[in-house]
């Protein structure tokens, strides 16, 4: 996911004569602070901050270190900087409504990290769709996990053993969904006959697993490209007001939830 986003950002930067410092924080807030301090010392022209894991107080503080900031996949409270988001709540809604239309009533959700803005919004979409369809859901049908194959495997194994009546799961991302597929296989569940699965992002792996994964497509390259264009506008036009952009996702229907 992030590799495609970075490609989009780098291409726009290089096309406009700028170099990019790429920093990976491993979703570790302490490491994120250290990286941002290093970038501030380098006097960079601007910052694209993607899916920050900092709490609101920390985030508000560090953003003030930089002259130009674009946040991606996260919106701060009282946000005064440019923001580009995907409509993750709409994605959670469309994934869950797809399952409801297919006849599912017992639908669970494998969420990402509790600090993740995207995870919160996708979960909210799921909950809203369940409520609007008059279907029961509570915390017992939801599990949180790291956004990895192993995280999806462990959390779904726990959930499916505790709630074997579930017939479908919406997953935070495609890697989590692949872990869910592995757990379902070990539990003897056929996909999609016994358990329908929907992921998020549409990474290349989603079309390669068996059965191919139904997923909510996020335009990763476009996110990076548009974020960099926003940042370059801010750098080159000092009086430009911050922009807020919202990109709508798309449901890609494959064999894991036809």
CATH number, domain at 80? 3.40.50.2300
Q: What pLDDT score was predicted for residue 250?
A: 97
Q: Is residue 254 assigned to a domain?
A: no
**Rg of the Cα trace of the chain?**
19
Q: Is residue 157 assigned to a domain?
A: yes
Q: Is residue 256 assigned to a domain?
A: no
Strand ranges (E), 135-189? 142-144, 168-171
Is 206 in the same domain as 128? yes
Is 19 in the same domain as 112? no
Is 177 in the same domain as 59? no
Is 237 in the same domain as 190? no
Is 172 in the same domain as 205? yes
Sign of torsion, CA 103 258 152 9? Answer: negative
Question: What is the domain extent for residue 97?
Answer: 88-217
Residue corresponding to tokens 């409520």: 131
Ranges of residues in the chain with a pLDDT under 70 are 78-79
Q: Is residue 253 assigned to a domain?
A: no
Closest to 138 in 3D by CA, of 161, 160, 107: 107
Is 82 in the same domain as 34? yes
Is 96 in the same domain as 136? yes
Is 92 in the same domain as 159? yes
Q: Is residue 24 assigned to a domain?
A: yes
Q: Is residue 255 assigned to a domain?
A: no
Is 144 in the same domain as 110? yes
Is 192 in the same domain as 102? yes
- Domains in the chain, number: 2
- The answer to whether 49 touches 227, Cβ cutoff 8 Å, is no
Q: What pLDDT score was predicted for residue 51?
A: 83
Residue corresponding to tokens 């900092």: 54
Q: Is residue 258 assigned to a domain?
A: no
Please list, in sequence order, all residues whose beta carbon lies within 8 angstroms of the beta carbon of residue 54, skipping any fewer than 6 positions away. 29, 32, 33, 62
Q: Is residue 257 assigned to a domain?
A: no
Question: CA distances (Å), 128 to each of 50, 122, 134, 188, in order?
Answer: 26, 10, 10, 31
**Residue 142 three-state SS:** strand
Please list, in sequence order, all residues whose beta carbon lies within 8 angstroms of the beta carbon of residue 28, skipping any fewer than 6 positions away. 53
Q: What is the pTM of this model?
A: 0.87
pLDDT tens per residue, range 122-149 = 999 999 999 999 998 888 999 999 999 9
Residue corresponding to tokens 């494998």: 110
Q: What pLDDT score was predicted for residue 79?
A: 60
Q: What pLDDT score was predicted for residue 46?
A: 92
Q: What pLDDT score was predicted for residue 15?
A: 94
User: From CA 16, how far away is CA 21, in angstroms rounded?
Assistant: 15
Strand ranges (E), 141-186? 142-144, 168-171
Q: Which phi and psi angles does 184 have, rounded to 5°?
A: -60, -40
Is 70 in the same domain as 137? no
Question: CA distances (Å), 151 to each of 113, 129, 182, in order?
Answer: 10, 25, 11
Beta bridge pairs of residue 247: 86
Is 121 in the same domain as 171? yes
């Amino acid at each position: 996911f992030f590799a495609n986003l970075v490609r989009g950002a780098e291409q726009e930067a290089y096309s406009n004569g700028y170099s990019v410092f790429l920093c990976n924080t491993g979703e570790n807030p302490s490491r994120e602070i250290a990286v941002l301090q290093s970038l501030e010392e380098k006097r960079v022209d601007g910052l694209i901050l993607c899916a920050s894991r900092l709490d609101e107080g920390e985030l508000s503080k560090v953003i003030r270190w930089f002259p130009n900031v674009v946040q991606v996949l996260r919106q701060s409270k009282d946000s005064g900087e440019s923001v580009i988001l995907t409509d993750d709540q709409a994605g959670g809604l469309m994934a869950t409504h797809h399952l409801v239309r297919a006849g599912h009533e017992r639908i669970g959700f494998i969420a990402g990290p509790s600090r993740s803005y995207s995870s919160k919004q996708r979960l909210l979409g799921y909950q809203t769709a369940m409520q609007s369809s008059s279907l029961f859901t509570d915390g017992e049908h939801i599990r949180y996990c790291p956004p990895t194959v192993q995280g999806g495997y462990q959390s779904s194994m726990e959930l499916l053993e505790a709630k074997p009546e579930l017939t479908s799961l919406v997953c935070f991302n495609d890697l989590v969904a692949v872990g869910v597929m592995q757990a379902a296989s070990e539990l003897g569940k056929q996909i999609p006959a016994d358990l329908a699965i929907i992921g998020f992002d549409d990474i290349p792996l989603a079309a390669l697993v068996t059965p191919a994964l139904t997923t909510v497509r996020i335009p990763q390259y476009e996110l990076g490209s548009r974020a960099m264009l926003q940042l370059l506008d801010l750098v080159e036009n000092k009086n430009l007001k911050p922009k807020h952009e919202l990109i709508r996702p798309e449901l890609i229907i494959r064999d894991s939830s036809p």
